[in-house]
Structure 1
Amino acid sequence: MRFIRPMVYIGMAAVIGASAFLLTSKEAVSQTEAANQTHPTAYIEANEVSASFKVGGRVTEILVKEGDAVKKGQVLARLQSDEIAAKVEQAKAAVALAQGKIAEAKGASATAEAKKQQGIAGVAVTADTAEQQVAQAQAAVKAAQAKVDGLHNGARPEEKKQAEIQYQAAQEVFLLAEQNLGRLNAMLEEGLVAQADIDKVKASYQEAKMKRDLAEQQLNMATQGPREEEIRGAEALLEQAKAALSLAEANRETVKVRQGDVAAAEAAVQQAHGAIQSAESAENQAKAAQLEAETYLSYTELLAPSDGVILSQSAQVGELVGSGFPVFTMQSVEGRWAKFYMPETSLAGLKAGDKISMTMLATGEKLEGTVSTVAAAPDFAIKKATQSAGETDIRSFGIKVELGSLPEHTPTGMTLIWNGRSEG
């Protein structure tokens, strides 16, 4: 019994010591975990993007190498482009040809429109002139016909009587003048009158004789009728007037001809408008083909999809590559981010949009970012409870923080320390 009792005391002391050690170790672990939960770490991460040609072909130029920093839109490589460049020139020639046809069609349209307007004016002028010519010719025919009819019918009795009266009066005046002249000539021989008086009477005698002869001719015409040659002359003039009337009426028909010319010019105008539309359609088609060819030509240059660094190169000059083949793999420096993992007990209402303060481990520089997502981590990140009373499973959450402007030349992969929400 004396031996057993010391052993019991020793065992009890060992259990008490072990328990104290375990409690101390657990408290130390808990303190470490608390520290890790309060200031977790993460790495600066970036997306990797592939740079690929949109068309296939043979690589003729490689303009960058692995490790080079490039800017968005920078030319990284080129494909052989002779055939596509030839298609671009061919398309440009087609555009120029279509534009030439448009100019030609517009010129034809202007010419046709001018002819149309000229024809319209000609119709108006011709119509007015023709009507005037017809009216004049009709008046000439009526006058000539009246002349012929008058010659054929001869003088009327009233006209004959009037001619006789005029002849008798002229004869009496003539006889009286003749007697005066004879009496004055006798007196001149006796020296009773001057020669000047004789000259005056002789002039009166000659005038009376002329009027008597004219009245005699008119009386003869009224009595005997017109001569045959006068009738033939008047009839010839009538036929000439009728011919002029026929010609004027024929000229009136030219109005219809000119109206037909106007209609033909209008048709030519419409045809020219159609040619313009057709040429413009051809121009649009040629421009579309040119744009397509130029677009394909632009595809022969491989442009950097974003700012970043060339990580790897998968093709060399002279190799054939297909469309979509990743010639370069790039690490983008646009929109870099870090992902922290925190237990749910440390979230304290953290949400998207919160500003976070961080420290760069290597340099101690302070950075600021914005929480973009708060998502539950996979099951392997869950802290499992022990059999001790009061402990439960604790889930971890991935906190993705978008990094704003980073210090120049900050490499991707640097370690960041979580400081907590940014004040203000």
Structure 2
Amino acid sequence: MNITKEQIDALNAVVTVNVAKEDYAPQVDKALQAYAKTANIPGFRKGAVPMSLIQKQYGKTVLLEEVNKVLQSSLNRYLAEEKLDILGNPLPKIDENFNWDAENFSFQFELGLAPEFKVDLDAKNKITHYKIVADDTLIDEQVARIQKQFGKLISKDAVEQEDDIRGVFSNEEKGINAEANITLDIFKDKKAAKKFIGKKVGDVVTLKTKGLFDDDHKLMDYLKVSHDDVHGLDVEVDFTIEEINTSEKAELNQELFDKLFGEGNVASLEELKAKIKEDAENQFATQADQKFLNDATEHLLSNTKFDLPSEFLKKWIQTVGEAPLTPEQAEAEYARSENGLRYQLIEGRVMADNNLQITFEDLKAFTSEVIKKQMVQFGQLNPTPEEVEGIVARVLSNQEEVKRLSEQVMSEKMLSLFKEKLKAKTKEVTYQNFIKESYGE
């Protein structure tokens, strides 16, 4: 066996694998002997078929199988020993004159090589890490929402200003048929709100979508129209009233506090507001971190420059799916996936440069926290360590779950590293201002 590499350029190489008869002949002979013992050929007893007939019937198939096995194992071993960092898989070069009747064979494979590059993690003041605070308005709204949610529901005959209304938005032409629960304060158009006053179950209120809400994107929530359709949508919709309710607000007392947060954990309105603020800001921190991680990713993609073996990758893309792609399809797929590939390489380099690794203890601790949060959501506020450990063990016995959770653990490690290294500026904002600055909406 002789393997050589020709370096075409920094990103492309060709490996030649020369396979001699002695590299594969013993395996071919052994396979043919096995066929001879089991072959069922008319006119011969099982195990008594002449080797010449076995060779004639199975020889070429066995030769191809065994040479391919030798070829693949030798090539994989060579790539590992030479520590070649390749992209995709080796692509065999087609030889129209290849002769399987020869004793010695020569195979060539194209390689796409990963580029050499450095990642600069100094992005001083180029990225913003938001600190989102829950302001008094948000907290007061949440208190009112809690009082309403846990209040006594009272059915009514006719709509008044503060009522909850359940019904269906419809417009046959636009295919709108959306169930919705509304209150009259959702409408920017006060004339629209007035149309509901005094209406009863079964009545239909016709509304114009243009200017109906303070933000056209709310049409997505209430009418279930697509994002592409919401801007400037100017049609009439019917709202058929199916139910009218009002609620008697729940009293802010110890019984309600215990129901919300467990016995004795909150004992006053001030403590309730403090708990709401804490919980809200914990949720906001997750959104702010995700925004920061996305911005860091975009920054690194924009500022880490390197070439890729693009022509090789386009050829490789043609071969990896269930069905082969045309060159045009592969070109389009490469354009879609290029940034993803670039970031995989950047992320891999950052992990290697900073020795980021996932231990089993990391994975176990992360999974345990995930399980605890899920149990709290289902009302299990104080699960025992044994209960949590049992669930963690079951989750980590599933390889798909292990892969998914490992990606989340690494994402957290990358986030911590970026916070430390990228030297982002910190900006304190309310949630509404965070949405405006992040998405311009």
Q: Please give the TM-score of this superposition, normalised by the length of structure 2.
A: 0.20
Greater RCO structure (CA 8 Å; 6+ sep): 1
Q: Which structure's CA Rg is the greater one?
A: 1
Q: Which has the higher helix share?
A: 1
Q: Please give the TM-score of this superposition, normalised by the length of structure 1.
A: 0.21
